[in-house]
Amino acid sequence: NRRMDGYNVLFPMGYDAFGLPTENYAIKNHIHPAKVTHDNIQNFRRQLQMLGYSFDWDREINTTDPNYYKWTQWIFLQLFKKGLAYKTSMPVNWCTSCKCVLANEEVVNGVCERCGAPVVRKEKSQWMLAITKYADRLIDDLDDLDFIERVKIQQKNWIGRSEGTEVDFTATNGDKLTVYTTRCDTLFGVTYMVISPEHPYLQQWKDQIQNWDAVAAYIEEAARKSDFERGELNKEKTGVRLEGIDPASGKHVPLFVSDYVLMGYGTGIVMGVPGHDQRDWEFATKFGLPIVEVVQGGDITKEAFTLKDDTGIMVNSGFLDGLTVKEAIPTMKKWVTEQGIGRPKTNFKLRDWVFSRQRYWGEPIPLVNCPKCGWVPLPEEQLPLLLPEVDSYEVTDTGESPLSKMTDWVNTTCPKCGGPAQRETDTMPQ
């Protein structure tokens, strides 16, 4: 319509052609992903032209064209230079058959949605994009957007900003157990703590945990569940015979391992306040743990766990007794800060983006790893770094990218010092 009105309209066509679907099809059918992509684009173009769509074919885009992915590599280098792309080891969903990392959405009932094989949690080194550095802006700038309110609320809940407090409990062996809480006023109501199965402390404490065999079996069982499954309420829990000391009351409380606590959010350790939280109440009831009321107006029944923030009065809470919840939160926050056992903390549900894939069919990441200089970016004039042609693009049994086997391509010189270095063999997801 706009063109009929005399406007110049940009009407290109493009193909997002790198990534897992193409590679999986190629592996399954033993056709090279470059050929799969070429043939699919030819077919798409034929169909679109047959339908008479008037795309501007001079502006056709193909993400697997080096002239295109030169610029995705350039963008990655800018992010890396600004500290917004970094590498870290983290637990990922690992398909035991596809031999690759899956997104949470690709794991259904503990198995890979494509091949049906069991999915386990595995530690892998991954490139990450630090989107969390923009979390405040992503939330605050929504206010000025012309979106419907429901969508803005969904976005804000997804980013999930919460103002809370980090509080340091102490294990009986002296190790610091830091928790994140939005309700530090309920510290006197803590009757137990829970630690994530992935927490590095557990491996460190191996010799100090009397029932280590049971704990190790539970860690292995938790590794077979997705984050979504682990977030559900009714899970079997395993106890660990270590204790934390509540910094407010000084009382000893038991510490459990449970898979509902994820390492990705907060600190990987949570405090249990069963008097005023549904999940905590169910956990405490199952294990016969004390349930202490610390807010009058916060019902200690399974049916009702509402806290009247303005009018609820603190009880069984030492120096907080008689204060309203609204008064008690800043009072306790100030106290733990003064005692050097806590600090105000803003948390987000938003996680940084796992950006690399241990696959062949993607844009090569234009970095080299030098024993002297660490990770070094390729000079921009050397872009694009071409994806090498290979005969074997199958995934490796070790989970490394097929590029890792191409030693002639991997072994290179450092752009900074000129010494021997190795190219990154992970590729970009898109």
pLDDT tens, position by position, 328-351: 999 999 999 999 999 999 999 898
DSSP E strands, 311-429 = 313-314, 342-347, 353-354, 367-370, 374-377, 411-413, 420-423
Closest CA to 184 of 296, 373, 336: 336
What local confidence, expressed as pLDDT, does residue 106 receive?
A: 79
Residue 152 is predicted with a pLDDT of: 96
Interhelix angle for 33-50 vs 20-29, to 10°?
110
Q: Residue 114 is encoded by which pair of tokens? A: 């494509």
* Distance of alpha carbon 110 from alpha carbon 103, whole angstroms: 12
Which pLDDT score, from 0 to 100, does residue 113 have?
Answer: 85
DSSP-derived letter for residue 303 is S
Q: Quick one: pLDDT at residue 191?
A: 93
For every residue of 136-204, DSSP letters joined together read HHHHHGGGGS---HHHHHHHHHHHT-EEEEEEEEEETTS-EEEEEES-GGGGGG--EEEE-TT-HHHHH
Residues 6+ apart with CB under 8 A from 59: 10, 12, 13
CA distance 278 to 235: 14
368, burial (CB in 10 Å: exposed 0-12, middle 13-18, buried 19+): buried
**Tens digit of pLDDT at every position of the chain (430 positions):** 788 899 988 888 999 999 878 888 888 888 999 999 999 999 999 999 999 888 888 899 999 999 999 999 999 999 999 999 999 988 788 888 877 777 777 788 888 887 899 888 888 888 999 999 999 999 999 999 999 999 999 999 999 999 999 999 988 888 999 999 999 999 999 999 999 998 999 999 888 888 888 889 888 888 877 666 666 655 555 555 565 566 667 778 899 998 889 887 789 999 999 988 888 888 898 889 999 999 987 555 555 455 555 678 999 999 999 999 999 999 999 999 999 999 999 999 898 988 888 888 999 999 999 999 999 999 999 999 999 988 777 777 777 788 888 999 999 999 999 999 999 999 998 7
pLDDT tens sequence across 38-75: 999 999 999 999 998 888 888 999 999 999 999 999 99
d(Cα 274, Cα 306) in Å, to the nearest integer?
A: 12
Q: In this structure, are residues 403 and 360 in contact, taking their beta carbons and an 8 Å threshold?
A: yes
pLDDT for residue 232: 61
Residues in the chain: 430
Dist. CA 77–CA 367, nearest whole Å = 8
Per-residue pLDDT at 70 = 97
| pLDDT score, position 244 | 58
